[in-house]
Amino acid sequence: MSFQEIIGQDIAKQMLQNGLRSQKISHAYLFSGPAGSGQMKMANSFAQALVCIHKGDEACGECIQCRKMKNGNHPDFHVIEPDGASIKIEQIRDIQRIFSYRSESGNRKIYIIKDADKMTIQASNSLLKFLEEPPAPAVAILLTENAQSVLPTIRSRTQPIVFTPPDPQKMAQILGDEGFPMPLVRCVVHIASDLDECRELLAENWFAEIRNVMLQLGKESAGRGSMSLITAQQKLFKGGLGDHIEPVFDLFHLWFKDMIHIQIGRHESIVFIDQLESLSKVATTRDMQHWISCMSLAAECKKMLRSHVNPQLCMEQFLIGVSG
């Protein structure tokens, strides 16, 4: 993958490509940012540019070194990820052993550590020594969503590269150009973490069904009646959508946020813009504090769901709460 294929992250790209152009490459980098911000894609692009025989600021994609990277069999490139809940000292020792041998191409050896904040203390200390005294020229790329959870002594020995959340508007434009329905696109770019995940959701028939059901539940719950409980029972749990309750809470969160946008006149920020007429009628039935409380309730119910609370119970508690 080339740098140009990565959406956004212009500052991170510029820093890495400047280093490639000047051949001033750090021995270690710390990529930090939210999930879906493209850290792994950027790390792969950077690693491929490092091994490319043309030594430019972008991998050619055609030379033998690039082809080995594409095929996943480059002997000087390795990826470490958590074994279970953590990265263990044995995994760091394995990479130290592998890197004790000379590079096949004579170039730097490269390793990526995914979820670097999940290293055990022993693994972190072992890596620290390896960063300070690698047996051969090497480049380490550490990836994390939380840089502060990485050992301070490791942070001090790495060049920080900060990633920002993906831009929903840019993703929406790309997905719209690809022919996906915009009412669904406007929702999915706020739920999924990157373009690939967006496309996966948009390809699922159930996502459009979930959105329709959520809109019906929203309108019914605003009427302070019990009809929403019956609809949830029939269309979600008896309708075969019971395995997809978490996105319902995500969509409700966006729906409540739209109510606030309507109240403060920020129509350009509305996600459910195709529902503007009905949204406008509902938005004024409650004050802003109510919609803020509903957003909090949606987040809490989603958390309960992840803690294995019964999905139907979560949904019923939620609908009763928002109808009050």
| Count of beta carbons in the 10 Å neighbourhood of residue 68 | 18
The pLDDT of 194-200, averaged and rounded, is: 89
Is the model's pLDDT at 226 over the cut of 80? no
Is the model's pLDDT at 1 over the cut of 70? no
pLDDT of residue 104: 63
**115 backbone φψ class: left, alpha, beta (φ>0; ψ -120 to 50):** left
The pLDDT of 265-284, averaged and rounded, is: 93
Q: How far apart are CA 197 and CA 218, in angstroms?
A: 25
Is the model's pLDDT at 230 over the cut of 70? yes
Of the chain, the percentage scoring pLDDT greater than 90 comes to: 74
Q: How far apart are CA 219 and CA 228, in angstroms?
A: 8
**pTM of the full structure:** 0.73
pLDDT of residue 196: 86
Confidence of residue 100 (pLDDT cuts 50, 70, 90): confident
* Tokens describing residue 223: 């009427």
Q: Among 50, 73, 72, 49, which Cα is nearest to 61's?
A: 49
pLDDT of residue 223: 74
Is the model's pLDDT at 136 over the cut of 80? no
* 219/251: higher pLDDT: 251
Q: What three-state secondary structure class fits 317?
A: helix
The pLDDT of 197-222, averaged and rounded, is: 93
